[in-house]
Amino acid sequence: MLDKDGYVSETHATNIFLVKKGRVLTPHADYCLPGITRATIMELVVKEKFELVERRISLSEFHAADEVLDC
């Protein structure tokens, strides 16, 4: 699903994470549910020493991701 400005926010039942060039990106919690699963994934990403970036993600960037995780 997209937020009101057309950026990727979440699916109807899960949060979105993408991997691009070794960085893990996820949308800000402004337009998605900041639940337990999302928080756990974010903690694991940091614990495993990956760079975690929370920011707006365009649909074209989503399509160009190396990997996509929805959980």
Residue 30, in any domain of the structure: yes
> What confidence score (pLDDT) does residue 32 get?
85
Q: Assess if residue 64 is contained within a domain.
A: yes
Q: Tens digits of per-residue pLDDT, 2-60?
A: 999 999 999 989 999 999 999 999 999 988 888 999 999 999 999 999 999 999 999 99
Question: Is residue 6, in this structure, part of any structural domain at all?
Answer: no
Residues with Cβ within 8 Å of residue 36, at least 6 apart in sequence: none
Distances (CA, A) of 40 to 15, 46, 58, 60: 12, 10, 24, 27
Task: Give a yes or no: residue 61 inside a domain.
Answer: yes
Structural domain span for residue 25: 16-70
Please report the pLDDT score of residue 33 as a whole number: 85
pLDDT at 15: 95
Question: Could you tell me if residue 8 is inside a domain?
Answer: no
pTM of this prediction?
0.90
Q: Is residue 39 domain-resident?
A: yes
Domain count, the chain: 1
pLDDT at 31: 86
Please tell me the distance from the alpha carbon of residue 65 to that of residue 57, in angstroms, as a whole number. Answer: 10
Asked if the structure places residue 11 within a domain, the reply is no
CA 25 to mean position of chain CA atoms: 5
Q: Is residue 2 part of a domain?
A: no
